[in-house]
Amino acid sequence: MRIFKFGGASVKDAAGIRNVHEVLKFTGYDDVLLVVSAMGKTTNALEAVVNNYFNKSASLQASIQEVKKYHNQILLDLFDDEKHAVFTDVSRLFGDMDYFLSHNKSPNYNFVYDQIVSFGELVSTTIISHFMQSVGIKNQWIDVRNFIKTDATYRDAGVDWEQTQKNISKNVKKKALNITQGFLGSDENGFTTTLGREGSDYTAAIFAYCLGAESVTIWKDVPGVMNADPRYFDKAVLLNQISYREAIELAFYGASVIHPKTLQPLQKKEIPLYVKSFVDPKLPGTSVSKGADLEPYTPCFIVKRNQLLISLSSIDFEFIMEENISDIFALLHKYRMKVSLIQNSAISFSVCVEDKFGNFNDLKTVLARKFKVAYNENVSLYTIRHFTDQAARLISDNKTVLLRQISRETMQIVTKES
């Protein structure tokens, strides 16, 4: 079985969905499992719904209607008959969302987030499944929450691999086109969980691992894995083939083309990963597989925006030793800070983090009991794999460099725009 993943950009409108049909005709679709994200910017729109819900905003109903209107327009563009069953199925899903919002008693933001944001994937796959049926491609729509079981860490759930393996190996229909949702799972109580933002790649890898798949293909709006994000860097070049190790390094440092958790399950079973263009599926794309890198010395640039640089120094000039660092990391874990870089000296410790869950103010209060706390908000973290002096100058020119760290193959620079 082959696993295909299509992200939100590929299914943002009716034209995109018709293009997925064209891609499937080109590649073949027997014995394929399709993992699909929410359409376009739907996840962002549903996040706004969650925020309005918790803020008791007067804009709540308007934000809900915006999501419904967006999907309804896609339905009208795809289906001539408004009595088609897809309209009823999508209406039922949005009815379920409305029911949850009106009856929920939980004050847990992350729990509510997962219950609401998940409707993006449920609706997108329902529309795509019906459309494929309408153009003659038989398929099985499956609810991923019945297959991928997780713990109850909402918004960043951990996979119960043993139960997930049993569910997938026993229930996924072979020699057919299966269509399912990315990003989602469910806990032991049946509540919806999510695997972390942009987690649909990881979903594809989970299915591939459990099915012993032939390959995974991630369909993107770029020709493959580039040495830099073309939105931020001129003259980005395609990497034709890279190893699992190099891809894991790039994903860890924040390369947006592959989700960080995707590679490990594929590497364990040596399942090749292809990153290809849904704009032109004839292009070869990038192959990620076992073996030496063909292009290990091309400098690769990765940028993370909206980072937070925290600098701690001891109040009484006491050395910051292993015990202090252990305490700091325990707090970073407790307040769910995503650590991207650390640097320490005798009496200071700096860490660049992503405050994904908005917990920094609480963390700062606790840290200030023991350390002097300084911080810079909205900094950018640049990582250069296989760096050169020229590559470093490209990043640091016209910027204020707050921190620089160099290892044998990697340079990281934290900057503020000058």
DSSP letters spanning 134-195: HTT---EE--GGGT-BB-S-TTSPPB-HHHHHHHHHHHSPSSSEEEEESSEEE-TTS-EEE-
Average pLDDT over residues 285-308: 82
pLDDT band at 197 (very low <50, low <70, confident <90, very high): confident
* pLDDT class of 418 with cuts at 50, 70, 90: low
Residue boundaries of the structural domains of the chain: 2-213, 300-417
Q: pLDDT per residue over 8-67, tens digit each?
A: 999 999 999 999 999 999 999 999 999 999 999 999 999 999 999 999 999 999 999 999
Please determine, for residue 295, whether its predicted confidence score (pLDDT) is greater than 80.
no
Angle separating helix axes 119-134 and 42-54, nearest 10 degrees: 140
pLDDT averaged over every residue in the chain? 93
Alpha-carbon distance values, 203 to 9, 33, 54, 102 (Å): 17, 11, 29, 30
pLDDT of the residue at 198: 77
> 369 pLDDT band (50/70/90 cuts)?
very high
Query: What pLDDT, on the 0 to 100 scale, is given for residue 86?
Result: 98
2-213: which CATH topology?
Answer: Carbamate kinase (3.40.1160)
The residue-averaged pLDDT of 392-416 equals 91
Res. 269: pLDDT tops 80: yes
CATH 3.30.2130.10 fits 300-417, yes or no: yes
End-to-end CA separation in angstroms for the chain: 51
Share of the chain above pLDDT 70, in %: 99
pLDDT on residue 397: 86
Burial environment of residue 166 by CB neighbours within 10 A (0 to 12, 13 to 18, 19 or more): middle
Q: Of the ranges 113-122, 321-330, 335-344, 376-385, which is most confident? A: 113-122
pLDDT band per the 50, 70, 90 thresholds, residue 345: confident
Among residues 46, 26, 289, 227, which one has the least CA distance to residue 137?
26
Q: What is the predicted pLDDT for the residue at 330? A: 94
Task: Flag whether pLDDT at 294 surpasses 80.
Answer: no
Predicted confidence (pLDDT) per residue in 97-108, tens digit: 999 999 999 999
The residue ranking higher by pLDDT, 248 or 415, is: 415
